[in-house]
A and B are shown apart, each in its own frame.
Chain A
Amino acid sequence: MTLTEAQQLGYINAQAADGRINVELETDDGMVLNMGPQHPATHGTLRLVARLDGEQVTSADVMCGYMHRGYEKLCEVRSYPQVTTLVNRIDWLGSFANEVPFILAAEQLMEVEAPPRAMWIRTILFELSRIANVSLFIGDLALQLGAQTPAFYAFRDREFVLNQIESVTGGRFHPNFDRIGGLKDDLPKGWIAETKAAMVRLRGFCDEMEGLVYGNEIFQTRTRGVGIIPAHVAQSYGLSGANLRGSGVDWDLRRDANVGLAYDQLDWKVWTHPDGDSYSRCWVRLQEVREATKIVDQLCDGLPGGGIMAKVPRIIKVPEGEAYIATENPLGAMGYYVVSKGDTGPFRVKIRSASFNNISVASWLLRGVYVPDIITILASLYFILGDIDR
């Protein structure tokens, strides 16, 4: 094949970018395989146009935007308290975590600080979102490799976490619970004991999954040594979360750039894996669920008393300025760049979502792999479509 990479891309673009290809197309020098937008391997409407030479991918083009909702534009016409309702829907499996960085950015601009109890409850809900999100990932991962059982276990055990989130916030998926200056409500009676029981349950789930999925020979063969991302590539693409730590980069915003959450007062560990392959990314996530259950236990034990709301005016007007806050969300680093002109709503919000960067590496990563490995690599990168398209 003598085509340059740009020519190959151009060829695919011409035929595929406009959505005109929906069948496999054979040409003289290979075949174009179209996966999605509705494809089980993409859990959402992501489309992949892979150019194949036999069973090997010569180039892959990832197309997103099927779920673009224009949140950055919508934020400009909403008031600050209304924005949390929107951003809840970005990463819908860990939605409370989406609210936190935005609220923290607004608080930084207003120079308001939430009381300690609110900070701790925020951190608890943040970690519960992580557990709910990532435990489903583990089940889904096995599903993509053809194992049905772990998915049901994951749905079953995630329910214990969702129940806890629901009993505080009233919402299972879209809590909309965070407020500028604190939280909407305090914890209900008996919640701490129930949460600790749920954490024991979730630790059992992790042990079960470690044996059932991670120890499985087929799983190991299909993920070890597949889809390797070296550390410098991971950094250059801005991968974050387990995708970055799975490549051996020891960086966790919770530990290294903690703003306004209670992580600095706890004893916990950031897990990394030196291999950078699909297995290491999945393994780091499993350890993170375990670590999160320990964090929640410690937070429940040391929960300080006091109020849950700082003094803020009833009509929120944020002083003129710019702030950028990023936190370590279940999918990776998520940040909000908030520009205020002193109005009741933001002037501009740039939403930096983790999955957008995480999936942008796919074109590079899928080059040269075999077709069945596309599935495991995409699964191990772990993206949520709402988080890509925003």
Chain B
Amino acid sequence: MAEDTTTTNTTDHDGAAVASDDRREALLAVFSDHLGDAVVGSHLKPGQALWIRVATAAWAEAALVARDKAGLKWFDFLSAIDWLPSPYGRYEDSSVDVPFPPPMPERSAAVPGYAGGNSRIQVLASVAQAGTDLRVLLKADVPDDDPRVPTWVRAYSGAAWHEREAHEMFGIGFDGNVDLRHIYLPSEFEGHPLRKEFPLLARVVKPWPGIVDVEPMPGEDPEDPEDDAAVAEESEA
């Protein structure tokens, strides 16, 4: 059924291993029962959270299953993640070292996180059950060549604004959402700011003051006796 199913074992406060999480496993079973093969991956951190990845075509249906079958009636948020590493790094290199714009990373450098995936950008949404701590984080691949997924508006009215935001920030289309105007940016704004290839212009125009006089990071300076203690402390922790 699920191709990418992982469970992280965490420890609770007493240090004893929490092996299972029946309530979240039951939630996962609800999704598997109603969506079948469309549940293509899942990840469970017992006692913490459940991630479910569904096929792109089943994205809208997954919302209806969450609302009507799994009892997750409360809409939390909908957004996206661009898994490509930023070509700019964290803007810690000066323009002397790195040309602008820097070369784009290979497409294969985009490695999705929990519950797997095959695309560069994934949509991510969270729905919860009011009155409990049950929540499901749903993911779906956004095809690289045709970045469109079905809309969630029919299941959750609140998704409309979140889809507008994801549309302008990531350039994802939501089939069925008729109102995808910009929500934050001016309507003539070009580009999708939260995609990794979009530069943070403030850092390009004026370098981050931290890189002007580069001091050795603590722990990397062999002449500082205080830092040896820090290294020892770090390895101890």
List chain A residues, Cβ under 8 A from B48: 108, 323
List chain B residues, Cβ under 8 A from A64: 183-184
Binds B, one of A25-33, A171-179, A285-293, A355-363: A355-363
The docked-state distance in angstroms from the alpha carbon of A389 to that of B183 is 9
Q: Tell me the chain B residues, 38-97 only, with Cβ under 8 Å from chain A.
A: 48-49, 51, 73-77, 79, 81-82, 85-86, 90-91
Q: Using an 8 Å CB-CB cutoff, how does the interface string of B172-212 with A read, 1 for contact, 0 for none?
A: 00000011011111010000011000101001000010000
Q: In the complex the two chains form, is B124's CB within 8 Å of A65's CB?
A: no
Contact check: which of B13, B79, B132, B234 meets A313 at CB < 8 Å?
A: B234
The docked-state distance in angstroms from the alpha carbon of A195 to that of B185 is 43
Residue A364 at the chain B interface, CB threshold 8 Å: yes
Residue B31 at the chain A interface, CB threshold 8 Å: no
Q: In the complex the two chains form, is A257's CB within 8 Å of B133's CB?
A: yes
Contact check: which of B10, B82, B158 meets A348 at CB < 8 Å?
A: B82
The docked-state distance in angstroms from the alpha carbon of A233 to that of B156 is 9
Nearest-neighbor residue (CB-CB) of A70 within chain B: B193
List chain A residues, Cβ under 8 A from B194: 72-73
Q: Using an 8 Å CB-CB cutoff, how does the interface string of A1-26 with B read, 1 for contact, 0 for none?
A: 00000100100010001100000000
List chain B residues, Cβ under 8 A from A320: 113
Q: In the complex the two chains form, is B185's CB within 8 Å of A337's CB?
A: no
The docked-state distance in angstroms from the alpha carbon of A313 to that of B126 is 32
Q: In the complex the two chains form, is B137's CB within 8 Å of A238's CB?
A: no
Interface residue tally of chain A, by bracket? 35 or more
Q: DSSP class of A's interface residues: helix, strand, loop or mixed?
A: mixed
Q: Least Cβ distance of A287 to chain B in Å?
A: 18
Q: In the complex the two chains form, is B234's CB within 8 Å of A314's CB?
A: yes
The docked-state distance in angstroms from the alpha carbon of A357 to that of B124 is 16
Contact check: which of B187, B193, B198 meets A18 at CB < 8 Å?
A: B187
The docked-state distance in angstroms from the alpha carbon of A182 to that of B11 is 20
Q: Least Cβ distance of A67 to chain B in Å?
A: 9
Contact check: which of B158, B181, B184, B185 meets A237 at CB < 8 Å?
A: B158
Contact check: which of A13, A236, A335, A350 meets B73 at CB < 8 Å?
A: A236
Q: In the complex the two chains form, is A238's CB within 8 Å of B76's CB?
A: yes
Q: In the complex the two chains form, is A9's CB within 8 Å of B179's CB?
A: yes
Q: Least Cβ distance of B228 to chain A in Å?
A: 12
Q: In the complex the two chains form, is B130's CB within 8 Å of A251's CB?
A: yes
Contacts beyond the supplied A249-B130, A323-B49: 13 A-B pairs with Cβ under 8 Å: A17-B181, A70-B193, A72-B169, A111-B10, A256-B133, A257-B133, A323-B48, A326-B76, A337-B124, A350-B124, A352-B76, A352-B77, A361-B158
Q: Which residues of B contact A (CB under 8 A)?
A: 10-11, 13, 48-49, 51, 73-77, 79, 81-82, 85-86, 90-91, 113-114, 124, 126, 130-133, 135, 137, 156-158, 160-161, 169, 178-179, 181-185, 187, 193-194, 198, 200, 203, 208, 217-219, 230, 233-234, 236-237
Q: Which residues of A contact B (CB under 8 A)?
A: 6, 9, 13, 17-18, 64-65, 68, 70, 72-74, 76-77, 108, 111, 113, 232-233, 235-238, 244, 249-251, 256-257, 311-315, 320-324, 326, 333, 335, 337, 339, 341, 343, 345, 348, 350, 352, 356-357, 360-361, 364, 389
